[in-house]
Amino acid sequence: MIRWVLALLLVFTTYNPSGYSWYHWLAQAANKIEPLIALAGVLLLIGWVIYVRATARSLGVIGTLLALALFGTLVWALIYYQVISLSNTTLLTYIVLIILSAVMATGLSWSHIRRRMSGQLDVDDRDDD
């Protein structure tokens, strides 16, 4: 749960439709090259690299595509059964951001989830000695 909250924080700090995000801060800044904007951008980039790399390593391309397909199909069902409307772009944006954070949190947590489900341990680091 903590990994997902951190992923939500990363995603929504980077961009969200409310107008309070790093993207909006940068877009509204008179001087685009300010130290605090750059520092925040670098910190966000570090967070994105950690999450995206962990997701790519643990889920792989196929696993990531399957996770996105699962969530995408869920959104399609919500639209199809008129639970949400395509005309409500703000809600759809929030849903997409939540899905993105869920996929990234799953990727970061996948080794723990797999170990609990199967009892198998993942080891990525090898000694070359």
Question: Do the domain assignments include residue 126?
Answer: no
Overall number of domains in the chain = 1
Question: Do the domain assignments include residue 111?
Answer: yes
Q: What is the DSSP secondary-structure string of 90-117?
A: HHHHHHHHHHHHHHHHHHHHHHHHHHHH
pTM above 0.75, yes or no: yes
Question: Do the domain assignments include residue 125?
Answer: no
Give the pLDDT confidence of 8-62 residue by residue, as tens digits. Answer: 999 999 999 999 999 999 999 988 889 999 999 999 999 999 999 988 888 888 9
Locate all alpha helices (DSSP H) within 15-88, ordered by sequence: 22-28, 35-80
Question: Do the domain assignments include residue 51?
Answer: yes
Q: Which domain holds residue 105?
A: 2-118
